[in-house]
């Protein structure tokens, strides 16, 4: 009697609905990086904080959810490397390392985590996406705030006041928007 184990195929993310080719994956990674760079240009200064409100977190979470962990991570790594190399597409058209670079590192990790959860079906319902987006936001802050404290020579309390507290409502709204996008897309496509 054969006891061959059936290989479990991971669930699809939205990007998997496109015909599978190497060119598709490259285009998706480039597109994810470009979307993040474009979203970073939506930048509003926050009084008393060296970190502006941007569309980057929305893009990073959406890229992870729609592309999956590996392509999402690759997109955010490409975004970060290009910005470090001088492409002016960090918040407000900047590039290079700044006191807010920790948030970009956090976005790389969050995109991968959100993508991994989306691959397990978390992108199919608003409720599951809510938890996924909250986890993604928590990862971004878990890296960004301590980095801000270190880079700006702030106490952890001051870094929380400057780099977390002013952003909670805006990030909750961005997460709500992101958590509605993928389940709605699946519903429109007719797959659950």
C-alpha dist (Å) from residue 19 to 11, 16, 75, 129, 187: 15, 7, 19, 25, 20
Q: Look at residue 90 and give its three-state secondary structure.
A: strand
Whole-number Å distance between alpha carbons of 105 and 143:
7
Q: Look at residue 78 and give its three-state secondary structure.
A: helix
Given this model, what pLDDT does residue 180 score? 81
Given this model, what pLDDT does residue 114 score? 96
**What average pLDDT does the segment 129-157 reach?**
96
What would the pLDDT profile of 8-34 be if each residue is shown by its tens digit?
A: 346 899 999 999 999 999 999 999 999
Q: Is the pLDDT confidence value at 6 over 70?
A: no
Whole-number Å distance between alpha carbons of 33 and 181:
18
Given this model, what pLDDT does residue 1 score? 41
Of 51-55, 102-106, 137-141, 162-166, the one with minimum mean pLDDT is 51-55
Strands in the chain per DSSP E:
43-44, 53-54
pTM: 0.90
Given this model, what pLDDT does residue 4 score? 38
pLDDT band at 191 (very low <50, low <70, confident <90, very high): low
- Mean pLDDT computed over every residue of the chain: 90
What would the pLDDT profile of 82-113 be if each residue is shown by its tens digit?
A: 999 999 999 989 999 999 999 999 999 999 99
Given this model, what pLDDT does residue 24 score? 95
Give the rounded percent of residues in the chain with a pLDDT score beyond 70: 94
Given this model, what pLDDT does residue 184 score? 87
Give the rounded percent of residues in the chain with a pLDDT score beyond 90: 71
């Amino acid at each position: 009697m054969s006891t061959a184990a059936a290989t479990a195929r991971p669930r699809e993310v939205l990007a998997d609905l496109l015909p599978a080719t190497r060119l598709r994956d490259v285009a998706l990674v480039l597109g994810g990086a470009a979307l993040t760079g474009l979203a970073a240009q939506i930048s509003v200064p926050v009084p008393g904080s060296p970190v502006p409100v941007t569309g980057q977190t929305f893009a990073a979470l959406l890229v992870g959810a729609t592309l999956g962990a590996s392509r999402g991570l690759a997109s955010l790594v490409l975004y970060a490397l290009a910005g470090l190399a001088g492409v002016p597409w960090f918040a407000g058209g900047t590039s290079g390392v700044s006191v807010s670079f920790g948030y970009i590192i956090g976005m790389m990790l969050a995109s991968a985590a959100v993508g991994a959860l989306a691959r397990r079906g978390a992108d199919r319902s608003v409720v599951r996406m809510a938890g996924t987006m909250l986890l993604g936001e928590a990862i971004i802050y878990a890296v960004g705030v301590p980095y801000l404290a270190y880079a700006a020579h702030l106490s952890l309390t001051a870094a929380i006041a400057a780099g977390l507290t002013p952003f909670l409502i805006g990030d909750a709204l961005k997460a709500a928007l992101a958590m509605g996008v993928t389940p709605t897309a699946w519903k429109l496509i007719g797959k659950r």
